[in-house]
Amino acid sequence: MSTMETTPNKLILLVDDDPDYLNQMELMIKRFGFDVIRAESKKEALQILEKVKPDMALFDLMMESQDAGFILAYKCKQLYPDVPVAIATSVTGDTGIKFDMDRASSQSWVKADIFMEKGIRSDQLHREINRLLKL
């Protein structure tokens, strides 16, 4: 059974202000058999979320502002509480700060289901998307 048959019409909203990273991630996610709608800014992503309910969202943490990913995750969960949200970041590598979604203190204010380090391997990304979408 091909990936296309196991994930029909699953739409992933992909948001990042780095066009190269956005292109790489879009190609990778499409290879997994998912549909992708993309945005290059928090503003563009918010406009999409007003019109479209994705099956999952993957947001960059730092775009126009350092907390853009947090804001998008919050807005997405407000509109669609059942949509899984992943935040991709390189902040741990840059700063040493690590987000742990298993801690209650993080869960209370961070409205993401998972944090992923940028540079995630293709197989890891596919596994996380499948897990979040319960496939």
Looking at the predicted structure, is the pLDDT value of residue 90 above 70? Answer: yes
> Would you state the pLDDT for residue 62?
85
* Number of neighbouring beta carbons within 10 Å of residue 33: 15
Domains and CATH numbers, the chain: 3-121 (3.40.50.2300)
128 vs 96, residue with greater confidence: 128
In the three-class reduction of DSSP (H, G, I as helix; E, B as strand; rest coil), residue 22 is classed as helix
Burial tier of 73 (Cβ tally within 10 Å: 0-12, 13-18, 19+): buried
Mean pLDDT of 110-121: 85
Phi-psi region of 43 (alpha: psi -120 to 50; beta: other; left: phi over 0): alpha
pTM of this structure: 0.82
Structure-block tokens of residue 69: 């990913």
Higher pLDDT pick, 119 / 103? 119
Residue-wise pLDDT for 4-25, tens only, equals 455 468 999 999 999 999 999 9
Nearest to 83, CA basis, from 46, 49, 45: 49
Q: What are the CA-CA distances from residue 14 to residues 9, 88, 93, 97, 105 (Å)?
A: 15, 10, 21, 23, 26
Per-residue model confidence as pLDDT tens digits over 28-43:
999 999 999 999 999 9
pLDDT of residue 112: 87
Name the residue with higher pLDDT: 3 or 53. 53
Residue 86: is its pLDDT beyond 70?
A: yes
**Local structure of residue 82 (DSSP, 8 states):** T
